[in-house]
Structure 1
Amino acid sequence: MAPVENPLKQDPKYDNYDFPTNSPVPHNGHPGWTTPEQDAQVFQLRSLLEQAGYTERLDTMTMLRFLRARKFNVELSKQMFIDSEKWRSEFGGGVENLVRTFDYKEKPKVFQYYPQYYHKTDKDGRPVYIEQLGKVDLTAMYKITTEERMIQNLVCEYEKMADPRLPACCRKAGHLLETSCSIMDLKGVGISKASSVYGYLGKVSAISQNYYPERLGKLYVINAPWGFGAVFNFVKRFLDPVTVEKIHILGTGYEKELLAQIPKENLPTAFGGSCECAEGCMLSDAGPWQEREYYTPPKWAKRDDDTIENKPESAEAAPQTESTVAPQGETTLEGKAPAPAPAAA
C-alpha cells in the first residue's frame, strides 16, 4: 500500500526546524509520510530515552532516522541511539567540541593522496560528496597526518553535512532533504592499493552506519574495475534491499548516468561536468551552505553562552565574494570570518 501524506507531527520541546519538514517523495516512515503507528513509535522511543536520562537530539526527524535504521523496532532503535550517544561523548573528547575546534590545516596536502569533499548539489538538491580512492597512498599520507586525524575530519564533515549543509539545501530546494548523493571514484584502484585501504574504510564505514543512519541517498561507484560488479552482485544478497536500490555500479562509461543525476555545471570537469572552481573544486566547498540567502549558523557552533566561535581553518582565510559568504556577523561553514556586506548601490 502506498504511504499517505501526513505532515510531520512536531514536538515543541525538541523540534525547532527553520527549513521544510516534509519529504517530497512518498517513502514510508519518512517525515510527511508516516502512519499513526509510526508516530506513536516516535513518541514511545523519545519517552524511553527521556526516562533513561537523554535530553539532546530527541527531535522527531532524528527519532525517525533511528527507527527506520532498525525497521521501527523501538527497543533496537533505543539501543542504537544509546550506543551513538556514548560514542559521541567519547570520540575526540566529544563530537560537538571536536567539530567546533578541529583545525585540519594539512587538508590541502592530504587531498593530494585522498580527495574527499562536498561540492554543490544534485538535481534533487542534495549535497554531492566525492571520494577518489584511486589516489589513496596511505604511506605518503601518514607522513603528513595520522589515521586518527583523518577519521576526526570525516566525523566533522558528517556533522557539517547534518548542519548546516542539509538545512541550507532544504531552504534552496523548498522541501526536506536528509541524504547526500555520493560519488566513489575507483579509478586507479588495484589489488596492491586495495588491501592497504580496507582497514581505514572499514572503520569509517562503521561510523557512518552506526552513528549517522539514513544519510545515504544515492551512491555512484564509478570507474569500477573488471569483476567489481560480479562481486557486488554477490554481496548485495546480504544487504538491505533499500540500500541496494541506492547503489549504482558503473564502469568507465559513467558520464551519462552521472549527469542524469547531477547538473553538468555542478559536476567537476574531472567527472564529465563543466565546473572549474577558481580555488579548485575539491577545496572550494561550494554549495547553498556558503550562500548568504540559505545559510544559517550551525547549532554546534553555539556555545553555552550563545556565542559562536570564529576559528579560521588556516592562518590566511581565503577571500570571499558576495555570493559565497554568510550574513554579516556570522561564521561560515568553515569557520572563516565573513566578508563585510557590500554597500547598497
Structure 2
Amino acid sequence: MATESQSTDSKYDQYDFPTTAPEAQPGHPGHTSPEQDAKVHQLRAELEKLGYTERLDTLTLLRFLRARKFDVEAAKTMFTASEAWRKEFGTDDLARNFDYPEKEEVFKFYPQYYHKTDKDGRPVYIEKLGKIDLNQMYKITTADRMLKNLVCEYEKLADPRLPACSRKAGKLLETCCTVMDLKGVGITSVPSVYGYVKQASDISQNHYPERLGKLYLINAPWGFSSVFSAVKGFLDPVTVSKIHVLGSGYQKELLSQVPAENLPVEFGGSCKCEGGCELSDMGPWQEAEWARPPKWATPKEEAPKEAAEPVVQNEDPGYVKKDAEGQEGAQTSA
C-alpha cells in the first residue's frame, strides 16, 4: 500500500516547492510503497559508491526508477549512461552559458517553445513540425547548436519552469502538456528531418525521463491515425494513454485541457503576447510571486555549503520541512 509521502534524504532533498504528486499513481512522489522507497535508497547508495554526488535527490531517482519499472539495476544503467552523456555534451554549463542569438530566425522554420500552462498547471510546450526546413535552418545555425538549445530548454524546464509551476499550483508538477502541430507535414518531408528529430527524441527519452504529461498531435494528416493505431501495440500503455491524435477539428479537445487565454490565437485560443507568443516564454517562471533563481545560475564554487531553509508558497501536505540537523519539522497545511 502506498504511503502518503515518500521517505526523503536531508542531504539531497532540498526542495522549495511542493513534493506530492496530485494524482495517486503508484511510484509517484507522495504515493510510493515501502518497497519502492527501499529501491530509491538502494539506487542512491549504489550510485554513491560509484562516486556520483549530483542529481541524487528523491524526485530525480524516482523518475529514473519509473522509467525502468523500478528495476534498480536497469535504472542505475540508465542514470550512469545519462551522466556520461551530460559530461560529454557539457550539459551542466549550457543553461548558464549557451547563447542562441539566431533563435528568432530559426523559429521561422522550426518554432518550438514553452508558453504558459494548461488547466493542471503544467507548462505547455509547442512545436510546429510542418514548418521545418532544415536546408534553410542550416544556413542560419547548425544541428549541434539546435540540439544544444533543445538541451538548454530541458534544463530550464527542470529548473526554473516546473518548480515555479508547482509553487503556483500548490502541488508537484513534473511533466509538460505538449502540442505538436503536424499541419504541412508530408511523407516527402520525413527523410530530411528524421535524423534531427530522432536525435532530439533520443535525448528526451534517455536523459529526461518521465517528463511527458499529455501529448496532442494536432492537424494530423489523413491516414496518420491508422498508422498510429498500428504502432500503439508496441508502446507502453501508460505512454499511449497520454497521446491524443487529432485532425483539423482539434480545438474543442485542446481547449478542454488548455485555457483559451493561455493558448495562442493560431490554435484556437485568445492569447496574443506582445512580440508574439513564440518568443515570449510567458509562464509562472516569469512571475515574481512564483519564480526563484534556478540552482544552475549559481556556480558550484559559489553555492552555499548549507542549504537555506526552504520557503514554499501554497505548500502541500506531503511537503516536510527539515531543520539543519535533518530532523522533520512541523508540516504546514495546504
Q: TM-score, normalised by structure 2?
A: 0.90
Post-superposition offset of 1:5 = 4.6
Is it true that 1:86 corresponds to 2:56 in the alignment?
A: no
- Offset of 1:217 from its aligned partner? 0.3
Give the AA of the match of 1:113. Answer: F
Letter in structure 1 aligned against 2:296? W
Superposition pairs of residues 131-142 of structure 1, within 5 angstroms: 131-142=127-138
- Specify the alignment match of 1:274 in structure 2: 270
AA aligned to 2:167 is R
| Amino acid in the other structure paired with 2:144 | E
1:288 to 266, 284, 290: 284
How many residues align? The count is 304
Amino acid at match of 2:275: E
Q: How does 1:174-213 map to 2 (within 5 A)?
A: 174-213=170-209
Q: Is the 8 A contact 1:6 1:35 kept in 2?
A: no
Residue of structure 1 in register with 2:108 after alignment: 112
How far, CA to CA, are the matches of 1:189 and 1:79 in structure 2?
36
| Whole-angstrom CA distance in 1 between matches of 2:165 and 2:94 | 24
SS of match in other structure, 1:219? strand
The DSSP-based 3-state class of the residue aligned with 2:66 is helix
Asked if structure 1 preserves the Cα contact closer than 8 Å seen for 2:2 and 2:34, the reply is: no
Distance in 2 between the 1:97 and 1:195 partners? 32
Q: In structure 2, how many angstroms separate the alpha carbons of the residues matched to 1:9 and 1:157?
A: 30
What is the CA–CA distance in structure 2 between the aligned matches of 1:216 and 1:290, rounded to whole Å?
22
- Equivalent in the alignment of 2:5: 7
One-letter code aligned to 2:149:
N
For 2:58, the aligned partner's letter is T
Question: Is 1:235 the counterpart of 2:221 in the alignment?
Answer: no
CA shift, 1:306, in A, is: 2.5
Instruction: Give the Å deviation of 1:194.
Output: 1.8
Looking at structure 2, the residues matched to 148 and 195 of structure 1 have their Cα atoms a distance apart, in angstroms, of 18
TM-score by length of 1: 0.87
Deviation at 1:193, TM superposition (A): 1.3
Q: Secondary structure of 2:177's partner?
A: strand
Alpha-carbon deviation of 1:8?
A: 2.8
User: Which of the residues 56, 59, 80 maps onto 1:58?
Assistant: 56
Q: Secondary structure at the match of 1:261?
A: coil
CA RMSD of aligned residues (A): 1.1
Does structure 1 residue 146 correspond to structure 2 residue 142? yes
- State the 1:4 CA deviation: 3.7
Match in the other structure for 1:298: 294
> Which ranges of structure 1 fall in alignment gaps of 5 or more residues?
308-345
Q: Which residue of 1 aligns with 2:157?
A: 161
Paired amino acid for 1:244: V
* Matched AA of 1:52: L
**How far is the alpha carbon of 1:253 from its aligned partner?**
0.3
- Runs (4+) of structure 1 moved beyond 4 Å? none
* Structure 2: distance between partners of 1:115 and 1:170: 26
Hey, what does 2:23 align to over in structure 1? 25
Letter in 2 for 1:137: D
Deviation at 1:169, TM superposition (A): 0.0
Q: Which residue of 2 aligns with 1:40?
A: 38
Q: 8 Å contact 1:5–1:26 — kept in the other structure?
A: no
Maintained 8 Å contact 1:126/1:177: yes
Segments of structure 2 that go 5 or more residues without pairing to the other structure are 304-334
